[in-house]
Chains A and B, each alone.
Chain A
Amino acid sequence: MAQPFPYTYYACDCYDSNNTTSSKRASQILAAAEEEDRTFDPRSPRSNYSLYPLEHLLYCEDCQQIRCPRCVLEETLNWYCPSCLFEVPSSVVKSDGNRCTRNCYNCPICTSPMTVNSLDTSNDNGPPYILACPYCHWSTVEIGIEFEKHTGISSQLARIANGGKPIPTQKERDKERERRKELGSRKRDGRDVLSHSEDSPSTDTERDDPPPSHDDVFSNLGAFYKAQIEAQTPSNPFSPHDITFSSPSAYNRIMNLYSNTSSKRNKRQKPAPMREAASLIEGLTVHNPSADAAAIERIKKEGWAATLSPAQKLTQINPNIRFESDLRPIATLLCTKRSKRCRSCRHILSKPESKITSTRYKIKLLALNHIPRLSIRALPSTATMPPPPSSSTQQPQFNYNALNSGIPTHFLLHLSNPLFDPIRVTLATPSTTPGKVQSRVTILCPQFEVGANTDVWDDALSSSLSPIKRGSIINADGQIEAGKIWDRGRNWTSVVIEVVPGFLKPVAGFGQQVDGADGEEELGEDEDVLEIPVFVRIEFEADVNAEERGLGDARGSKGERERREEAFWTVVGVGKIAGM
């Protein structure tokens, strides 16, 4: 999700470290970072996976670390349909899959949720009904499906094939398979199953039938495997007909049950290797060149428009379809409510209330309550800046999408402190931004303090906190003096950062090296985006946290304070450099 400029992303350092870092102190990480003299590169492909907006980050109070979606463990609390908002029990999810089994369908063409409409025009919305897309106007009429009732769409749809023909039920399929098997074996008269081919009389009927549907093949294959397992365990007393063999674990369980209750003779006997499916009724799909030829003919006649896009194909249950006439409405995918744990200490970091309609959380440890919020905005041009700060709203809007190359531009870096203790902040940034377009960056006041996040009313009462006089920070030449903060409030401080946006094309004699080979190179996507990596280190003294204090209570050290620090990389998206 691209954010408009300016923005700030926070880097979670789990991206390049193993679990060991979680035990490291911030100072050690800092030391390591300094040792390697490594700058966080927002353009590195790996950074895609470590940068997050602050509101997406959690904070583990035990590890004293930021936790991003990559260093938390998720646990599903419940499943629900995002469309009808009904909770789906996990047992149903296990048996029926992760889709809504009510009336919720998405359009196979455009993904929009579909509605049940009546085709009846005479009286009040009687049958027949169809599923229709309100966005692209595709409907089940196009695949020849109509419904008798406006509820229970899923069960009705499961019985109707495209074109309106009924889909055989599982029982009917089983019966049909048995019939064919008998027919085949009788006519083949003891012939080897594998030699079952064109000359076999049974294929005459098969050849006239349309090719088996995806579901037919699946059920045939399922029945074949079931038969194979039964053949292996002929005296199974646990009635395998009631047990599904759809999962390997169920199969294993049955095998174990069997081997435990049976005599050792069976155990010693080496099970005969299972053979693979060898015919259509066993689920074998033989490549059919005539089907391919027919498909090609159809494309010739109907054109590409009748075929499916890869995205449309991927959302279908049957992956082998090619044409729009084969589409089925897509049952809506379920969503989940999840709780999150710290990956290294397993403490719960967030846990929503399990009720679907509730948006509240039982536990929610947000990073934005523990680490300072860094934001940036353009500082109105110092030359024309009028002294009263309240007039800033009347300034013309700064265009973040067209930064001028080579012209020093001032921005305000604003740090607000969510902690109840004042913090000392050290900011660091590389002097030139990484990437092909090198912009020069200078933080004019990299070290400063930010007040504690005390009660809002303290702010009003302690108005004695005199506002910084702008005159004092701008010297006689109209330059902003380095080493001084720009402004501060109750729990925030702002400092000036000077940025000289780089040149998209090298300009000779403008302080930039013109490298012949480099100059010819085309700029990649987003090379004109000016992003500044900013390293933030905060130091503060805090009360020893409750748990540790509990241990130290014997010594009666209630008001004990400990020195703490945090350090992390952020990336500030300043804007886009305008072409010249």
Chain B
Amino acid sequence: MSRPTARKAAPKGEYIETDSGNKVSRRSAITGTANITLGGRTVIMADVVLRGDLHPTRAVPSSSGKEVTPTSISIGRCTVISTGSVIKPPSRISRGQTHYYPMKIGDNVFVGPNCTISAISISSHVHIGANVTIHPFALIKENVKILPNTVVPANMVISSGSVVGGRPARIVGEVGEGWGVSGGGAGTGLGVGGGSEEKWVEGGDLRELVRSIK
């Protein structure tokens, strides 16, 4: 068994940490980095695919006349994209041409392992379970929980506070009033809820989780 301290001292860690505290796995597959923005303290785990190369191709009007780099994926603060997930901006075909639309992911969003995400927007404090597929142009509002193995159909709007599950996804419940509230120092010690191995709460502030990822 290797001591954790020994691991830390290794020349190359699992993650590359940026100035704003983003942690990007060396084993992730990111294309079109210029078209991707990470808000800070966001984690991109191993085997995650970010398709930044699929950016809007339509002329972006710019006031200065300069070339503006189109954004394809923007991810907020303290968001975690778990291993094996694929983030691909949604596209539409018109007049035989494929047009990509920029995707926006908010703060404190947890994306579980092995998800495929093509939503147009995911708001803050959303928890997405493992193996979830979100089809193009789905719109997910704040404080939503998507159960594992759910398939969210294209264009579906999930209103805030919903719990959705199934194939295709349907509203199966509401998150409790206490959604995302860590309440009385769960920050120290153990968390709660499902799989309470972790020191964080679903839908809550993911800072602790981000800090613990090394």
A interface residues, Cβ below 8 angstroms from B: 1, 3-8, 52-58, 80, 82-85, 110-113, 115, 133-136, 335, 350, 359, 361, 364, 366-369, 372-373, 375-377, 386, 390-391, 393-394, 412, 414, 416-419, 453, 456, 459, 489-492, 494
Contacts and interface: CB of A to CB of B under 8 A. Distances in A.
B184 A419 contact: yes
A3 B177 CA distance: 18
The 10 closest A-B pairs by CB, nearest first: A418-B184, A55-B178, A56-B176, A368-B183, A3-B194, A134-B154, A135-B153, A55-B176, A112-B168, A82-B159
B181 A112 contact: no
A285 to B, nearest CB: 33
Contacts of A5: 195
Given A359-B143, A366-B177, A418 B192 contact: no
B193 A85 contact: no
Interface string B162-206: 110100111111011111010111111111111111000100000
B185 A361 contact: no
Nearest to A107: B168
Interface of B is mostly: loop
Contact of B189 (A85, A364, A416, A419): A416
A55 B193 contact: yes
A369 B194 contact: no
Nearest to B147: A1
A133 B170 CA distance: 14
A54 B194 CA distance: 11
Interface in B138-157: 141-143, 147, 151, 153-157
Contacts of A492: 185, 188-189
A490 B142 CA distance: 32
B150 to A, nearest CB: 12
Query: Counting chain B CB atoms within 10 Å of each CB, which of A3, A52, A55, A84 scores highest?
Result: A55
Contacts of B154: 115, 134-135
B185 A6 contact: no
B178 A82 contact: no
A181 B135 CA distance: 55
Contacts of A361: 177
B12 interface: no
B193 A366 contact: no
Contacts of A390: 4
B9 to A, nearest CB: 15
Contacts of A112: 153, 156, 168-169
20 contacts: A6-B195, A8-B192, A53-B192, A54-B192, A56-B176, A58-B177, A80-B159, A82-B162, A112-B153, A112-B156, A115-B155, A134-B154, A373-B192, A375-B190, A375-B191, A386-B1, A390-B4, A393-B4, A414-B190, A491-B185
A25 to B, nearest CB: 23
Contacts of A55: 175-179, 181, 192-193, 201
Contacts of B173: 1
Interface of A is mostly: mixed
A94 B146 CA distance: 32
A385 B3 CA distance: 13
A25 B100 CA distance: 62
Contacts of B187: 456
A344 B193 CA distance: 28
Contact of B186 (A8, A359, A416): A416
A53 B193 contact: yes
Query: Counting chain B CB atoms within 10 Å of each CB, which of A110, A115, A368 scores highest?
Result: A368
Query: Counting chain A CB atoms within 10 Å of each CB, which of B162, B191, B193, B201 scores highest?
Result: B193
A85 B159 contact: yes
B57 interface: no
A375 B198 CA distance: 11
Nearest to B165: A1
Query: Counting chain B CB atoms within 10 Å of each CB, which of A134, A136, A412 scores highest?
Result: A134
Nearest to B148: A4
B160 interface: yes
A375 B196 contact: yes
A143 to B, nearest CB: 20
A113 B153 contact: yes
Nearest to B7: A394
B174 to A, nearest CB: 9
Given A3-B194, A52-B176, A350-B177, 8 more contacts: A4-B195, A5-B195, A115-B155, A361-B177, A366-B181, A391-B3, A394-B1, A492-B189
A368 B203 CA distance: 15
B177 A369 contact: no
B170 A453 contact: no
Contact of A377 (B4, B168, B178, B197): B197
Given A1-B172, A390-B4, A491-B184, A8 B196 contact: yes
A124 B199 CA distance: 53
Interface string B105-138: 0000000000000000000000000000001000
A56 to B, nearest CB: 3
B194 A4 contact: yes
A82 B157 contact: yes
A126 to B, nearest CB: 14
Contacts of B143: 359
B212 interface: yes
A303 to B, nearest CB: 24
A504 to B, nearest CB: 23
Given A83-B157, A416-B184, A366 B168 contact: no
A110 B135 CA distance: 15
Contacts of A84: 157
B161 interface: yes
A368 B181 contact: yes
Contacts of A494: 189-190
A411 B153 CA distance: 41
A390 B199 CA distance: 14
Contacts of B159: 80, 82-83, 85, 335
Contacts of B194: 3-4, 7
Contacts of A453: 184-185
Given A135-B168, A491-B184, A367 B1 contact: no
B135 to A, nearest CB: 7
A85 B151 CA distance: 21
Given A1-B173, A55-B178, A369 B184 contact: yes
A6 B196 contact: yes
